[in-house]
Chain A
Amino acid sequence: MNMKALILVGGFGTRLRPLTLSRPKPLVEFANKPLVLHMIEALVDAGVSHVVLAVSYRAEQMEQELRQEAEKLGVQITFSLETEPLGTAGPLALARDILASNDEPFFVLNSDIICNFPFRDMVSFHRNHGKEGTIVVTKVEEPSKYGVVCYDERGRIERFVEKPQEFVSNKINAGLYIFNTSILDRIQLRPTSIEKEIFPVMAEDGNLFSFELQGFWMDVGQPKDFLTGMCMYLTSLKTKDPSLLYKGDGVASGVMVDPTARIGKNCKIGPNVTIGPDVIIEDGVRIKRATVMRGAHIKSHSWIENSIVGWRCVVGRWVRMENVTVLGEDVIVQDEIYVNGGIVLPHKSIAASVSEPRIIM
Chain B
Amino acid sequence: MLKAVILIGGPQKGTRFRPLSLQVPKPLFPVAGRPVIQHHIEACAAVAGLREVLILGAYPAQELQQFAAEMAARYGVAVRYLQEYAALGTAGGLYQFRDQIRAGGPDAFFVLNGDVCGDFRLDRLLAFHRERPADALLTVMATEATRQQSVNFGCIAEDRATHAVLHYAEKPETFVSTLINTGIYICSSDIFQQIGTVFKRKQEEIYSADFEEGPPSETISLEVDILAPLAGSGRVFVYQTSRWWSQIKTASAALYSNRHYLKLYRENGAPLAEDGKPCTIIGDVWIHPTATIHPTAVLGPNVSVGRNAEVGEGVRVRESIVLGGARIREHSLVLHSILGWDSVVGAWSRIEGTPCDPDPNKPFAKMDNVPLFNGDGKLNPSITILGCNVNVASEKIVLNCIILPHKDLVRSYKNEILL
Contacts and interface: CB of A to CB of B under 8 A. Distances in A.
A286 B331 contact: yes
Interface string A122-138: 00000000000000000
A338 B352 CA distance: 10
A355 B333 contact: no
Nearest to B352: A338
Contacts of B350: 303, 320, 338
B397 A320 contact: yes
A272 interface: no
Which interface class (under 10, 10 to 19, 20 to 34, 35 or more) fits B?
A: 10 to 19
A301 B399 CA distance: 18
B375 to A, nearest CB: 20
A284 B399 contact: no
Interface string A291-311: 000000000110101000000
B20 interface: no
A284 B352 CA distance: 20
B112 to A, nearest CB: 38
B255 to A, nearest CB: 17
B314 A283 contact: yes
B266 interface: no
Contacts, number: 44
A318 B313 contact: no
Interface in A74-99: none
A25 interface: no
Contacts of A317: 316
A278 interface: no
B397 to A, nearest CB: 6
B84 interface: no
B143 to A, nearest CB: 33
A320 to B, nearest CB: 5
A300 B333 CA distance: 12
Interface in A308-361: 317-318, 320, 322, 336, 338, 353, 355
A187 B392 CA distance: 62
Nearest to A303: B348
Contacts of A336: 316, 318, 333, 335
Contact of A320 (B314, B318, B333, B414): B333
B395 A301 contact: no
B331 A301 contact: yes
Contacts of A228: none
Nearest to A305: B395
B115 interface: no
Listed residue (B333, B335, B347, B397) with the most chain A CB atoms within 10 angstroms of its CB: B333
A306 B377 CA distance: 32
Nearest to A268: B348
Nearest to A335: B316
Interface in B289-326: 313-316, 318
Contacts of B397: 320, 322, 338
A20 interface: no
Nearest to B297: A301
Contacts of B315: 301
A318 B333 contact: yes
Interface string A212-248: 0000000000000000000000000000000000000
Given A303-B395, A320-B397, A338-B352, A284 B331 contact: yes
A266 interface: yes
A232 to B, nearest CB: 23
Given A301-B331, A305-B395, A338-B352, 19 more contacts: A266-B314, A266-B330, A284-B314, A284-B330, A301-B348, A303-B331, A303-B348, A317-B316, A318-B316, A320-B333, A320-B350, A320-B397, A322-B397, A336-B316, A336-B318, A336-B333, A338-B397, A338-B399, A355-B399
